[in-house]
Structure 1
């Protein structure tokens, strides 16, 4: 679930180059044109946004991370009235944007900038505070690790991190935090690695899945995604394009099921062609797209990326009746003691 929606990130020693994932395919599906208005719901460092603006379309950028404000200001100075920035979650994009949109692009997950900044606490590759908050507000990963019930931690690691040893990790945390709370990414990563040493030939760090589950939970990433898909349906004009890039099976499953459910009429019977129910609100634009071998070799963060796209029909938007059917786990509804969201 490692996203790369930025193109430049400041780091020690100067700017580090980050390549927007699947950029050519995003532009192919989104097909921005002069006179159109496109929304980039995950602005980051502006990789997609710049490419869209350079195609001549007007652009509205959204991001809940206040750290991108300076980049947005630079874009406003460069592109003038053709660029607007809304510091908000993409789950409410239809409330932020008043005009119908010609296209929406969403790059789901954590950004390259967030991963590379140790002080944000998203990665254990560099030791930092156990934070992980994209919006830099609400409860942190440290709050969850030190206060959540052991059963809740197990569900977070197991359902959101897809960690098979979720219960072992949760029990270890429960015992250790009574003596000393977890406050640093390096401390938690080491504790998990000590519990489950990496096997010979194993590439993934033992803490990877647990960290993923924590980050998804802290930011309610899957709940935000479902709400964003629903909002996109309301905001797009007929023939408007929706392009979503995901980096993990949980995200991709939600997007896949949403686009399937919205592009197929409900059959009365599998033996009869007659259909009943609402008309499709989207038509899918081909199969899912993955990064080429060349792009994956050049940009490791593209290896797990999958792009899905759909075009809005003329049918009226409708609410999502069953969010669980899209693959949204119950974990998103859990709350810890002293909820500060």
Structure 2
């Protein structure tokens, strides 16, 4: 595990994130998804002496590693073990009311993906888990072995956008009658049975994504976190969010658009009666994606998108 962590790469959209997020070098910033600490260190390097960074992660393993990496920044850096849906509470615990910038990198960290014990990846045959917070009582094992066929199909279709969801759910339920499905390898074999012919991408990719989202309540947490994070910004403060698949990006896009829209009255009304004003403005009209140079050394950046909003 140490060998994997020591090779931690530059995080996705690193320079683009710093350029669009850090507007006050003496300000207070929050990294909601600490992970391997790459973005956190980038923000800390960008700040002047009076600047402060608060980092959040629910994975104790990530926090332990980041402490070794970032302890040299002393009092400029504070870290909290929590879920980023509680970002407003963490900011209060750190001694602040409002902050200058907040970052959310919604992807699963490379240290988690590359750790076979965590069960996030279909590339390893290991125990079904997929929990970002290992104290979470619900793991991939419970989803696969205890959800009804109907609920499994719904999760796989909704969160994985998998067109073979019903067939995959049916075969899972047939197989688990014989014995519980305990490993990622067993689940991959089941998914492959549901796929006709040769798939362009790994047939398990979408189903694994869907189960991971369900286990960690990812979209529900993201929606809550966006609202709380935006409300925690100072005037002129910025919220940047990096997403890795269409479900997340669509949610961010729609919530940002709503925050930047004033009047919410029905179009048939001749005049505005709600008196709503835009609360934010888009810093990125279109999402920022990785450049060709980044894609050369980090294939995981391929689907990443950065959107940034500024509070009015």
Match of residue 257 from structure 2: 260
Counterpart Cα distance in 2 of 1:81 and 1:198: 57
Match of residue 167 from structure 1: 166
The reply to whether residue 127 of structure 1 matches residue 125 of structure 2 is yes
Counterpart Cα distance in 2 of 1:126 and 1:253: 30
Counterpart Cα distance in 2 of 1:33 and 1:273: 42
Of residues 243, 247, 257, the one that matches 1:246 is 243
Counterpart Cα distance in 1 of 2:82 and 2:208: 24
**SS of the residue aligned with 2:2?**
strand
Match of residue 11 from structure 1: 3
Shift of 1:195: 2.9
Counterpart Cα distance in 1 of 2:176 and 2:306: 40
Question: Could you tell me whether the CA contact under 8 Å between 1:26 and 1:243 is conserved in 2?
Answer: yes
Deviations 1:38-69 (A, max 9, x none): 00000001111001101123100001111112
Shift of 1:178: 0.7
Counterpart Cα distance in 1 of 2:36 and 2:277: 38
Q: 1:15 to 1:171 in 2, by over 3 A?
A: same
Aligned residues, how many? 302
The reply to whether residue 62 of structure 1 matches residue 51 of structure 2 is no
Question: Could you tell me whether the CA contact under 8 Å between 2:8 and 2:111 is conserved in 1?
Answer: no
Match of residue 322 from structure 1: none
- 5 Å matches for 1:1-341? 10-11=2-3, 15-56=6-47, 57-75=51-69, 77-98=71-92, 99=96, 100-137=98-135, 138-196=137-195, 199=198, 202-266=199-263, 268=265, 270=267, 275=272, 276-287=274-285, 288-313=287-312
Question: Could you tell me whether the CA contact under 8 Å between 2:223 and 2:251 is conserved in 1?
Answer: yes
Question: Could you tell me whether the CA contact under 8 Å between 2:164 and 2:194 is conserved in 1?
Answer: no
Question: Could you tell me whether the CA contact under 8 Å between 1:192 and 1:207 is conserved in 2?
Answer: yes
Question: Could you tell me whether the CA contact under 8 Å between 2:155 and 2:210 is conserved in 1?
Answer: yes
**SS of the residue aligned with 1:97?**
helix
Higher helix share: 2
Q: 1:124 to 1:269 in 2, by over 3 A?
A: closer
Moved more, 32-41 or 107-116: 32-41
TM-score (ref. length: structure 2):
0.92
Counterpart Cα distance in 2 of 1:32 and 1:84: 20
Shift of 1:278: 2.4
Shift of 1:71: 2.2
Deviations 1:148-169 (A, max 9, x none): 0110000000001110010000
Shift of 1:16: 2.0
Question: Could you tell me whether the CA contact under 8 Å between 2:144 and 2:172 is conserved in 1?
Answer: yes
Moved more, 16-25 or 263-272: 263-272
Question: Could you tell me whether the CA contact under 8 Å between 2:34 and 2:56 is conserved in 1?
Answer: yes
Shift of 1:272: 8.2
Shift of 1:267: 5.2
